[in-house]
Structure 1
Amino acid sequence: MQEIQGKTRTVQELLGNAKYGIDYYQREYQWQTKNISELIDDLTNRFLEDYQPGDGETEFAKYGYYFLGSILISVNDTKKFIVDGQQRLTSLSLLLIFLNNLQKKTSSKTINIESLILSENIFGKSFNLDVPERNACMEALFIDEPFDATQQPDSIVNLVERYNDIEELFPEEIRHEALPFFIFWLQTKVLLVEIEATSDNDAYLIFETMNDRGLSLSPTEMLKGYLLANVTNLNQRALADNTIKKWLLEFKQIAKEADADFFKTWFRAQYAQDIRDRKKDAKPKDFDLIGTEYHRWIRNNAESVGLKTSNSFFKWINNDLNFYARIYKQLLDASKGLTEGWERVRYNADHGFTLQFQLLMAPLQSSDTEEIIKQKVALVAWFIDSWLNRRLWHFKSNSYSNMSYGIFQITKKIRGLDVETLRTTLIQRFEEVISAEKLDFSNHLYLHKQNSKTLHRQLARMMDWLERECGMNGNYQQYIVRSGKNAYEIEPEVLNDSYKEKKSPLK
């Protein structure tokens, strides 16, 4: 093996006038809405921790850094090939294209970031992520024109859909005055480690080593070890071990990080007592710490959770963990289908609103009967559905950064409530919310680029409701398909007029 170099790079250093190829065996872009949502949330939340309107160069210099992970590069002659990390770099390129288009529309001060997206030589311009089969799609996105992904490979469909997700999820509070600051922060304060090998063989050997051997324990594995170590009765430990293994296997079959998502959601729903204040230099608290180190948070808060004796650890695993894991799995299933009584869980999920699981699990107790569980989930799902739709009607963002603080406050209010108290509390809170945010239906809703996906889902629901009211089978799950040969779309004339005028009412 020849010399291996690992260097910390800013986004500007990594992508500026660079050229990367992607080997044929990994050219598929596979990220889904959840992945791009987490990236946007992580970046924007970290930026907003430091940003204050009116900040100057001195204040900006004190902004914190964000580490985006490592990428593995193989250098072949004069060109670099991405061996590991293309999902992140592709997503980062989509974000940069979006920011480049956005600043032209909304910011009086623009920052030249085109060199991070494409570069130019004597033969013309080309994208820095040089994947020929993506060029037509990337070109359309770059010049801010719609791209028809019908009959395109899944990778191209994902590019278009993830770009649309970015348009929808990017927080409103960064779209105007804060935008140049965010772009400059993204260029200079977001870091990646570039691991460079001088041959393909060395690069693939490193890749295999990183993925197959010598990896650090995951937070879930560390949590499991801590819990089982505190169950001193060997028979109980064996039973607890089987319980944890069962659910980790279940979650592994769902998604790579489903286990981590479960523990974060459960701990936030049932135990977190505070959240970072929305002001500069505020310290992370329960909600935030659970999101980054849930295994350590449980260790540091064991007594407040009720983990004091070997028997309490055993009961917590076999009763509580078992109960909430089962419910979480049911909620995940409901978010992908149309479960009778829980249809709104699916509708909320189709908005990309991942915070709903935390709120749905907050009022549940391990002693609840199946009927009580159904009623509580249905009530909370109704509340979320009604709130989201009123916000969407008023063009308000339902992104993680906009909603996490308010959702957490409601989580605490409804934690462990019985059905009737829960109903009363949610109705009261709903009335407070629509009054404070002035959410009514007196304004005209119109179509624009950022809400086309949202309106498509709304129209799908309306059609589904009409069909059911007429005694027919509803076809919601067919109507929400937006790509491929069976795609449904909003009438093109309405779409085009709305893009041009930005104020055409929905027809």
Structure 2
Amino acid sequence: MPPKNEFLHYEALGIARLLRTRALAVPFYQRSYSWRTDNSASQDVDEKQQVVDYWSDLQASFVNRTSYFLGTAVVARAGQDGRQLVIDGQQRLATTSLLIAAIRDKFFDEGEEAFAASTQQEYLGKFDRRVGADQPVFILGVEDRDFYDRRVVQRDGTAVPTNASQDLIENAYAYLKEQIGTFASQAGTGWRDRLNDLVLWLDEDVQVVAIDVATEADAFLIFETLNDRGADLTIADLLKNFLFSQAGPRLDEVRDAWVATLANLDIERVGNQRFTDFARHLLSSKYGRTRERDVYQRIKGVVNGAADAVAFAQELKDASRLYYALLSADSDYWADFESTVSDAANVLVELNLEQFRPLMLSVLSTFSHEEIERFVPALVSWVIRGLSVGTLGAGTAETAFSEAAREIRSGIVTTTDQILADTKVGNLVPDNQTFASAFEIWRVTRGALARYLLRALELQERGEREPELVVNSDVESVNLEHILPKSARANTWPDFTTDEQKTFVHRVGNMCLLQKGPNGRIGNKSWSVKQPILGASSLKLTNSTANETNWTKGSIDHRQKVLAQLAILAWPRTPRA
């Protein structure tokens, strides 16, 4: 161990030797295990399969008898219970532990208990007389440590994953056990020697550069320098490690605020897309539209030293509670407001748009309680109007919302009326004539949006107050019916050519709400079958469709013009009194 007063000490050593000679722990604020064996659970076909790549590269290097470099591992000496804290390298160390555990299991399965016990004691769990059991040489993060200890170190087959990161550990463990079985069988009767050689090779030739520093703050400073270009790191990784590196003696304050931020956002592990969106939208609300690729550099430009790091971390903590309120109408933030406000928030959540979030962050941070109650319902109307005319394209709209957000934070704009009259947001919200003209030909392909529009219009037709705040609470009992079916047959719908079917089927005027029972019976049926069922509906706008003797292009156009006039009233441009 290097002298305690030495800022930095480094050495190249085998990754298994690092496990064998150090007592290591992942700090509670680091992200959980995240390496994958496949991308079946991801929407992204390019999702990395790190465990597969790890084993493939190791195996090729072993067969060719060449050394293999796994990068750096940054550790701080100031750990708990004499352990060093792993600031960088935990994914590689954890996966190597799983590989060694797979080798140990193969020794056990084949009756080579001495080799299995030696592998266990040297690299996985050392026997502790005080507790009468093996204690892990490497302790994972808080969400994974108990499962890893039971399932991997103690070989407890009854341990069941209870979260996503534990599923990843289980999958990686199973994959590596399968690969080790194949790897051993290729050596025939010499399987034991081959596995023993693999362990020694991991101990000596699969190398990392271990960088030891005195404190966590020093470790994050080193990590920040090593990863300055941001390769293969998430926004959350980069931001966290930069803030921690800047924190100096105030690291505890920054760390506590960071942990609270993740809790406020309900994030299971650091680095998912929710945090990235939050950081981008927060910065957009302060400095104007910020692209994802610019988040890290923008933060580096405004945080310089411990005081800035603490202030920004506290801002993340405060803003994250507000941001979660944008994602969930069940957030306790809305408890202090009238029900109409939480209803409006729920509608905005259902619409699932991101462009206006910077504006909402500024409003919730700055406006008075009363003004927030005016703004949130008004935003619902603005969004619907903007969607109908197509002004909410991601780039243009987010720029306008972000500029307005910045003007709110600077004190230039202080009311909902000013947002509409004095900022570029007003350009996104069409007047009544433009809105009606766009609504008359609006095609809506999102079922949830179409269902919301029809529910609000139904309430407007019934004379309800604030119909735009209706929430889709009964989606299980009411279906969205396309009167001209999406799969219309030419013999039952002869008035529509194939191209006309594609044009008219998603028109708002062609859709209505219907109870599930009747809807199930009429599906792709003809108008003569649908007409009496629609006419029996208790919903006014559905019932009125039965007045048509035949359902034609003209019927759809006429009905949608009627709905457009209702829409002007349902989603007013100016805030309601």
Q: Please give the TM-score of this superposition, normalised by the length of structure 1.
A: 0.45
TM-score by length of 2: 0.40
Higher relative contact order (CA 8 A, sep 6+): 1
